[in-house]
Amino acid sequence: MKILFLDQSNKLGGAELSLADVAKPYRSDCLVGIFADGPFRELLEDHQIPVQVLTNQPIQIHRNSNFIQSIGRTGSLVPLIAKVAEIAHNYDLIYANTQKALVVGALASCLSRRPLVYHLRDILSADHFSRTNRRIAVMLANRFASLVIANSKATRSAFIEAGGRSDITAVVYNGFEPENYQIQPSSLTQLKQQLGINDQYVVGHFSRLSPWKGQHILIEALTHCPSDVTAILVGDPLFGEEDYAKQLHKQVANLGLEKRVQFLGFRSDIAPLMASCDLVAHTSISPEPFGRVIIEAMLCNSPVVAAAAGGVVELVESARTGWLVKPGDVRELADVITLCHHKPELAAKIANQAQQQLQVSGRFYLSATHQQIAQLLHQLMKGTPNSLDP
């Protein structure tokens, strides 16, 4: 099956990492078309996945755009849409991985008469998108997509609640390769020495620096934790969120936490860093569509505390495979951190149970994701309705 994948970003966000995983089985007969050059292209090339930068012009449609802005800016996409439609004639289907890719892919699908698949990786709610952009996404998906793949039940429910068609949607969880998370103890010792965290209780936070990701919640929670609890924040601001990063540094200084918080920026050694943590914290204050870092931490055998909203509640059984706390609740987060600090045996038990459950179920393994997507695409090309339920 020949697939033309589309993605708007040049950054390495969760959607892009997941797309690279999805494209691997098709790399001999696919093309990933991206709308900007950067690290994502380099990652795809490293995995020997064909990639082409389709435009050098930034797409000016933003998550909070109003109707006039969105429609007005769509006109600037005409050359890109025409180019994608021309390329699509050489492929069996178009696979849009992001919302801007949906806009381009939907119209290119109409022009090229190729079926459209939309991999929905966002919760279409007011927390994340303007009303106009939600309506445009739903309208385009309903009108042009033959299949909408949601990355969690929460994502699918939000799509349907926003007016999306339930009959074209299916849930496929993101998949991971367990062998990538098997870390040698000797390398962890060296990494801890490099970071100067040998004698600290380390809480790790792994996400781009963004207000809705809630790094400020973890920083404030530290003030209610034992003094040897420190935090490492892994990630950079990606989408014009540099002001928030500055606010975090200021918050750390104002709270006198300079010796207890490290900003590590973007890192490629995520698995070793997670395995070096005594606890991994997920602190999003808005519903998370999925929560890659949660599964990654579990695979690293690190205990997890996560904000109970969106797809996260499908990943964590509170007090059995991790802890769930109310989004934005500083005190509750601090209480869980303190509990894990005082009862390391309990935290280790919870982490082991989470890892074992992943091994037994296999539902978050990349092999399962590949199998489910292949089944859906096969059904699509044969013209049969999807029947996949995770």
Q: Domain map of the chain by residue range?
A: 3-175+365-382, 178-361
What pLDDT is stored for residue 207 in this prediction?
Answer: 95
Superfamily of domain 3-175+365-382: Glycogen Phosphorylase B; (3.40.50.2000)
CB 312 within 8 A of CB 288: yes
Q: 59: which DSSP letter?
A: P
Q: What is the pLDDT of residues 249-277, one digit of tens each?
A: 999 999 999 999 999 999 989 999 999 99
Distance in angstroms (rounded) separating the CA atoms of residues 159 and 290: 14
Q: Is pLDDT at 66 greater than 50 in this prediction?
A: no
Q: What are the DSSP E strand ranges found in the chain? A: 3-7, 30-34, 51-53, 93-96, 116-120, 145-150, 169-171, 201-206, 229-234, 261-265, 279-282, 304-307, 323-325
Cβ neighbour number for residue 192 with a 10 Å cutoff: 17
Q: Measure the N-to-C terminal CA separation of the chain; round to a whole number of Å.
A: 23
Question: Which DSSP string corresponds to 224-276?
Answer: TS-TTEEEEEE----SS-HHHHHHHHHHHHHTT-TTTEEEEES-S-HHHHHHT
Report the candidate in 131, 141, 138 with the shortest Cα–Cα distance to residue 109: 141
What pLDDT is stored for residue 62 in this prediction?
Answer: 52
Q: Is pLDDT at 294 greater than 90 in this prediction?
A: yes
Whole-prediction pTM value? 0.91
The residue that leads in pLDDT, 128 or 22, is 22
Distance in angstroms (rounded) separating the CA atoms of residues 313 and 368: 20
What pLDDT is stored for residue 9 in this prediction?
Answer: 84
**Mean pLDDT in residue range 64-92:** 75
Q: Is pLDDT at 67 greater than 50 in this prediction?
A: no
Residue type for position 373 = I
Q: Is pLDDT at 114 greater than 90 in this prediction?
A: yes
CATH architecture classification, 178-361: 3-Layer(aba) Sandwich (3.40)
Q: What is the pLDDT of residues 342-360, one digit of tens each?
A: 999 999 999 999 999 999 8
The distance of Cα 265 from the centroid of its chain, to the nearest Å, equals: 17
